[in-house]
Chain A
């Protein structure tokens, strides 16, 4: 019989011990916030960088010229934006949405022919009203349109602009960084702690001693999991607060975050315990723990969005359990894409179940 009273007793003793350990407290709560402050300060300076803008040129040309191409080439000479052309077969609006782009430029198929005949033809500029880059992109495109008009038509408006809104939210580095570092703290705190505890307690025979009390190993694990869920929740609130107030991050807070904030700590507490259990001594456990943790720390979308990594690393990222935590958090907090987040929850749930069952099965409480 699992007893809530015993779980609470163990939880209380563990929490008090944790809070008395300044080192653990620093790494559990303060360190991720410090990381947000550092990375946020480095990358959120903004303003002076060139903005990457997706463009689709559907222009079929006319009289051997492709004015659309010339226009985009001209845009690329500007210091403010850099054009990234997309495949003509893509549905441009969808493309922008899936890539969470905040800006886009669309040139229609009749662009050259109309231009040659002096008929007005419009370039569509996609933008997100919330984005600080939209104004810059519109301004730049409009400037080059005027230049084209002046050059050939003495300023008569032939190349015009229409604007369209993209339904994705604008994303800054800080927006990625917050879910990433929440994932980071969900990973590191329970993982490092449980690797250490489970190997150390085994070495000094503390588990053996606890097995002489009515506390069961499931209750012991439950209290650790409970503690790390609460610690992760506290870390979550702290990081979101700092992100919003210090850097004006745009994150959506929703109930869909809860499964990640619960499954994550369970998964990594169990994984830490598994590492501590299958290794012979605390030294080996530390090494194996680091081998498991470090790739996740850097490759699972914690410090950099996965999409910025080379394809082969993205494939690697997909086998790392933390990936599904950070991707899920991103899907909820940044993209507001709940159906994608549900897939992440499902994958995460399966991984958690497998690791948890393995850890409990292999975890020794008494000896033979």
Chain B
């Protein structure tokens, strides 16, 4: 059974279509990355799945629960790190874990959880004195208290230094190894590529691509190409003397030739050699996820537009 089933999900804030009819499902034990620029609708989607926001329409089943109607039951089975996780300033990670254990009415060994998230050395420091990475790890630790089968990690490494990011990745890999289902939002493509089994790329409330990163690159990337450094005359010479498609970028003197067959490479090289012109730095490469991402995301929203995603209405439902 799928851990998550989302079908035709919509959420509008006034005229802004934050989430505009998206569908996907996540299997048990899978790490699913939700990618997209700021304002793409990732957080709205994840908060609807967590039962923190009400959807306008569509079907959402999380571990078999409707997250809005059965949020209280659902929350006992999921772990969440919200974006920019924060906690009571004067509380230590260890106290925080014990607090959550009391709230969830579970018995836990705080030290084991702290070790699991690589935070044992800061167990007794007040939250306000922790670094950004340590704060995120506290969030991860709290998300694990109720031994959830499903974890939502909303931009868990945003704003962290490379070492702290890698430490969080390490923790996420361990959780994956334990068979947890994980939903990860991020705008770091390397993070998604490193950690996710499958990703969905969101833009303006739509999913514009989904699958494994290889599938997405294959489907939306331009395929293999030959790149070399050279002058415009060289680009013109190759174009005249072969049947290849040649692109030239005068800014960095980069000549790019899409490769459809292996033999195209030889033709391009032969033409370059024949021309008697200077050329170097020759390489073949494929579109990376970055390239595909830039191609797919037409016009990223700036941060100001993102703030419009904050809810305009205050209709409230509580436990």
Contacts and interface: CB of A to CB of B under 8 A. Distances in A.
Contact of B71 (A17, A204, A215, A366): A366
Interface stretch (B88-96, B235-243, B268-276, B286-294): B88-96
Interface in A212-226: 212-217
Given A13-B91, A213-B75, A367 B53 contact: yes
A216 to B, nearest CB: 5
B90 A368 contact: no
Nearest to B317: A366
Nearest to A213: B103
Interface of B: 47, 50-54, 71-72, 75-76, 78, 80, 82-91, 95-96, 99-100, 102-105, 126, 311, 313-319
Contacts of A213: 75, 100, 103-104
Contacts of B86: 204-206, 209
Nearest to A204: B86
Contacts of A8: 102
B291 to A, nearest CB: 34
B88 A366 contact: no
6 contacts: A211-B71, A214-B103, A368-B53, A368-B54, A368-B315, A368-B316
Nearest to A24: B90
A89 interface: no
B84 A205 contact: yes
Interface of A: 3, 5-6, 8-10, 12-14, 16-18, 20-21, 204-206, 208-209, 211-217, 362-368
B102 A364 contact: no
B100 A364 contact: no
A210 to B, nearest CB: 8
Contacts of A205: 82-84, 86
Given A217-B318, A366-B52, A212 B75 contact: yes
Contact of A209 (B71, B82, B105, B311): B82
A212 B102 contact: no
Contact of A17 (B52, B90, B317): B90
Contacts of B91: 13, 16-17
B82 A368 contact: no
A209 B83 CA distance: 10
A37 B247 CA distance: 85
Given A367-B314, A368-B311, 7 more contacts: A10-B99, A13-B95, A18-B90, A214-B103, A216-B319, A217-B319, A366-B317
A208 B84 CA distance: 12
B310 to A, nearest CB: 9
A367 B55 CA distance: 11
A203 B96 CA distance: 20
B60 to A, nearest CB: 15
Contacts of A211: 52, 71, 75, 318-319
B95 A214 contact: no
A16 B100 contact: no
Given A214-B72, A216-B319, A365-B319, A206 B102 contact: no
A212 B50 contact: yes
B103 A6 contact: yes
Nearest to A368: B315
B200 to A, nearest CB: 23
A206 B127 CA distance: 13
A5 to B, nearest CB: 6
Given A365-B319, A366-B52, A204 B84 contact: yes
Contacts of B311: 367-368
Given A365-B319, A366-B317, A9 B90 contact: no
A18 B89 CA distance: 10
Nearest to B53: A367
B319 A368 contact: no
Contacts of B85: 209
A5 B105 contact: yes
A215 B145 CA distance: 14
A366 B104 contact: no
Q: Which of A8, A21, A211, A366 has the most CB of B within 10 A?
A: A366
Given A17-B91, A367-B52, A367-B311, A214 B126 contact: no
A9 B103 contact: yes
Nearest to B315: A368
Contacts of B84: 204-205
Contacts of A216: 318-319
Contact of A364 (B105, B126, B316): B316
Contact of B52 (A16, A20, A208): A208
B110 to A, nearest CB: 13
Nearest to B312: A368
B137 to A, nearest CB: 15
A213 B91 CA distance: 17
Contacts of A208: 52, 82
A366 B95 contact: no
A37 B196 CA distance: 65
Given A13-B88, A208-B52, A214 B75 contact: yes
A368 B317 contact: yes
A6 to B, nearest CB: 5
B315 to A, nearest CB: 4
A221 to B, nearest CB: 11
A365 B52 CA distance: 9
A313 B107 CA distance: 57
A6 B90 contact: no
A216 B103 CA distance: 10
A6 B313 CA distance: 31
Contacts of B50: 212
B90 A20 contact: yes
A251 to B, nearest CB: 35
Contacts of B51: 366
A5 B102 contact: yes
Contacts of B316: 362, 364-368
A14 to B, nearest CB: 8
